Amino acid sequence: MLAGLGVHNGRNTRVALEPASADAGIIFVADGQEIEALLPNAQALQRQTSLIANGVAIATIEHLVAALMSLGVDNAVVHVTGGEVPAMDGSARCFVDAIDEVGLVFLKQHKKILRVVAPVRVSDGAAWAQLTPASSGMSFDVEVAFRQPIGRQRHVLSLTPETFRNELASARSFGSLDEAQRLWSQGLALGASLENSLVYDERGVLNPHGLRYENECARHKMLDAVGDLALAGAPLIGAFRSYRSGHRLNVSLLKAAFEAGALVLEKARNSPARGQLTAISP
Ligand SMILES: [Zn+2]
């Protein structure tokens, strides 16, 4: 069980993971209602992705579902209290450490995968995101462009549990002090602080310990994209690339890919090591 402030609602929030049976998928539970972590229930809102169904909303699910998908967890029940997944340190680090600590078990059923079989691209002004076919694995190439001091940053990665742990999981949410003040005045980002966000002013980073990576902002945007694409319901085989993308465009891309028939469900039959994984209880 992990507890902390919700970065958006500023409330005390908690999350607990439980194992689930094969083919259950990732199921969130809040206020006694189950919501599957799937695209039809997803809503990309300002600076976060929520699951909304049956009159219940759960905010900021993206870093947790990114960790589950990247570590190979196909099935889990996620209990959330307080309407939002706790921000922890603004990254996926605590979720990865918690899952690694309890461990995973293989289930007998074959893992499901979604193969990208045709290119799909969405854009909004200068921003764009695309998926293209690949022979194996899921790769990410994410570029951001902000005013200085963030500037242009890029990160390229082939997603595995190891690369996720070592290159993405610790990259924190970020924003400018001006933007934080504006969001606070609108009643948003109420829990945001230097404890759970990388905060910039025009001169640089305000956090006392500075950056974790020189291109931490590009890496965080990639972490967000991994989480948003995990709402496909199975790991993808394909290549994701984006420029100045965010939750809204990532979710639109996934919708467009399904609508175009560009994602085809397969079972990974070849390797016995690809059984479905589920989190086990501590
Ligand atoms: Zn994020």
Would you state the structure tokens that stand for residue 199, as one six-digit string?
A: 């905060």
- Sole residue written with tokens 């078990």: 105
d(CA 178, ligand 1 centre) in Å:
18
Cα of 44 to ligand 1 centre, how many Å? 12
With a CB cutoff of 8 Å and minimum separation 6, the contacts of 244 are: 126, 127, 128, 143, 144, 145
What is the structure's pLDDT at 69? Answer: 95
Count how many domains the chain has: 1
Q: What percent of the chain has pLDDT over 90?
A: 75
CA 271 to ligand 1 centroid distance, Å: 33
Q: What is the mean pLDDT of the chain?
A: 91
Given a cut of 70, whether residue 6 has pLDDT beyond it is yes
Give the CA dihedral 219, 223, 226, 227, nearest 10 degrees.
-160
Per-residue model confidence as pLDDT tens digits over 48-84: 999 999 899 999 999 999 999 999 999 999 999 999 9
Q: Which of 8, 63, 110, 247 is catalytic?
A: 247
pLDDT of residue 128: 98
Average confidence (pLDDT) over 161-168 = 97
Give the pLDDT of residue 269.
62
pLDDT at residue 168 in the model: 98
| Burial of 134 per CB tally in 10 Å (0-12, 13-18, 19+) | middle
- The range of the structural domain enclosing residue 244 comes to 2-279
User: What are φ and ψ of residue 244, in 5° steps?
Assistant: 55, 35
Instruction: Using alpha carbons, select from 229, 245, 235 the residue that is nearest to residue 277.
Output: 235
Instruction: Give the confidence band of 276 by pLDDT, cuts at 50, 70, 90.
Output: low
What is the amino acid identity at position 56? V
Dihedral pair phi/psi, residue 28, rounded to 5°: -90, 145
- Stretch 239-256: mean pLDDT: 97
CATH number of the CATH domain containing 97: 3.30.1700.10
Whether 247 is catalytic is yes
Q: Report the predicted TM-score, pTM, of the whole model to 2 decimal places.
A: 0.94
Q: How big, in percent rounded to 5, are the helix, strand and coil portions of the chain?
A: 25, 40, 35
Q: pLDDT tens across 89-132, in order?
A: 999 999 999 999 888 888 888 889 999 999 999 999 999 999 99
